[in-house]
Amino acid sequence: MSTWARLHGSFSVARWWSIVLKEFLQLRRDRVTFAMIVGVPIIQLALFGFAINTDPKHLPTAVIVADPSPFARSFIAAMRNSAYFDIVETLPDEAAGRDALARGDVLFVLNVPADFSRRLLRGERPSLLVEADATDPVATASALGALAGLVQPVADKDLTGPLAHLNGRPPAFDVELHRLYNPEGITQYNVVPGLMGVILTMTMVMMTGLAITRERERGTMENLLATPVRPIEVMTGKIVPYVFIGLIQVSIILAAARFVFEVPFVGSLFAIYLAALLFIAANLTVGITLSSLAQNQLQAMQLAVFYFLPNILLSGFMFPFAGMPAWARFIGNLLPLTYFNRLVRGILLKGDGWADLWPSVWPVALFTVVVMGVALRFYRRTLD
């Protein structure tokens, strides 16, 4: 009798079906795995289908109007109608515009000089100045490209009748673009600083979660329970080694950014390390919380992936944050990686000072405190 015949003859559909049912029952009982199977595809569909936009529109824009002429109003209206620009504020001078760009309040500043209409009527081809935050070239490329196409339609609309002789080729006025912080549009200047936060998020959350669940699986957690240690002492003792590991990772990434990718270091290295220390603490508290929820190392890894997915997609690392819908930006603003990306890029590329960094520092600090409280509660329950 052949091997196939022996296998076929001994095959029992009833036994096979009982094994299939057993696997389904185990999957149903493993809530974390079941949530991953159902939840991850739904999240990916929602994020890639609705939240991700590589051609962002309605980007925050400020205007400085020293010459409130009909020509200036027409150009501002054309910017609004293009759908790429949302005029969110009017600023008094160029210095205020630079401050707004440095803080990240706006991505573009339109400056209409005081003598714009006078020079236009003289046929001198004056220029409107548009300054752009070019730290993320993808976020601003389409909008800057659309600006050039607005000049001629505005000239055709306003320079009619007695002013028709001013309209021609080239257009009667021009738009001068200043790409700040990354004038050459080098992608590495935006991606490499963002990678620091992505790597720290992945490694800190996963390593902490695995370290604690590993002790539970090996039975060494009972040794901790037999000692008179408090939950806060266990937690801080567990995370301190990983703080040093995180700082070593930061140093390696900074060295690669400077000497391999030639990313400019405009700001303070001390500020970067302080921001990284706070961000590491935030992710370690997340790792401890997830380890308290997980029953084993596999579940800890699954929960870490579940946390990591929205971080990488909604933080502005892979896709322009300003181009996301309001609900996606709301979720992104709850994640520490969103603020850490702004901190690192602001320090390295813009040279942001403490006043500029504070709006991104306090949300990470608040996140750390809140998640630390949650971690203590869950970890105390685990010890009990």
Give pLDDT, residue 67. Answer: 86
The pLDDT assigned to 119 comes to: 87
Cβ atoms of 43 and 129 within 8 Å: the answer is no
What's the pLDDT at 97?
92
Low-confidence residues in the chain, pLDDT < 70: 1-9, 31-36, 161-162, 164-168, 220-222, 224-226, 231, 379-384
User: What pLDDT shows up at residue 23?
Assistant: 78
Tokens at 42, concatenated? 């739904």
Q: Kindly give, in sequence order, each residue whose CB lies less than 8 Å from that of residue 140, ignoring residues fewer than 6 positions away.
A: 59, 107, 108, 132, 133, 134, 179
Alpha carbon distances (Å) from 330 to 8, 38, 231, 315, 325: 58, 23, 33, 10, 9
What pLDDT, on the 0 to 100 scale, is given for residue 142? 84
Measured CA to CA, the distance from residue 315 to residue 52 in angstroms comes to 11
* Residue whose pair of structure tokens reads 């957690």 in the numeric block: 221
Residue with tokens 């070019």: 134
Amino acid at 222: E
Distance CA 101, CA 96 (A): 9
Query: What is the pairing mode between strands 59-65 and 85-90?
Result: parallel
- SS3 letters for the chain? CCHHHHHHHHCCHHHHHHHHHHHHHHHHHCHHHHHHHHHHHHHHHHHHHHHCCCCCCCEEEEEEECCCCHHHHHHHHHHHHCCCEEEEEECCCHHHHHHHHHHCCCCEEEEECCCHHHHHHCCCCCEEEEEEECCCHHHHHHHHHHHHCCHHHHHHHHCCHHHHHHCCCCCCCEEEEEEECCCCCCHHHHHHHHHHHHHHHHHHHHHHHHHHHHHHHHCCHHHHHCCCCCHHHHHHHHHHHHHHHHHHHHHHHHHHHHHCCCCCCCCCHHHHHHHHHHHHHHHHHHHHHHHHHCCCHHHHHHHHHHHHHHHHHHCCCCCCHHHCCHHHHHHHCCCHHHHHHHHHHHHHHHCCCHHHHHHHHHHHHHHHHHHHHHHHHHHHHHHC
Domains defined along the chain, listed by start: 59-180 (3.40.1710.10), 187-383 (no CATH)
pLDDT of 54 = 76
Predicted pLDDT of residue 246:
94
Q: What does the CA dihedral 130, 131, 135, 141 come to, rounded to 10 degrees?
A: 10
| Per-residue pLDDT at 201 | 94
Q: What is the pLDDT of residues 325-365, one digit of tens each?
A: 888 899 999 999 999 999 999 999 998 888 889 999 999 99
Report the pLDDT value the prediction gives residue 384, as an integer from 0 to 100: 54
In this prediction, residue 3 carries a pLDDT of 56
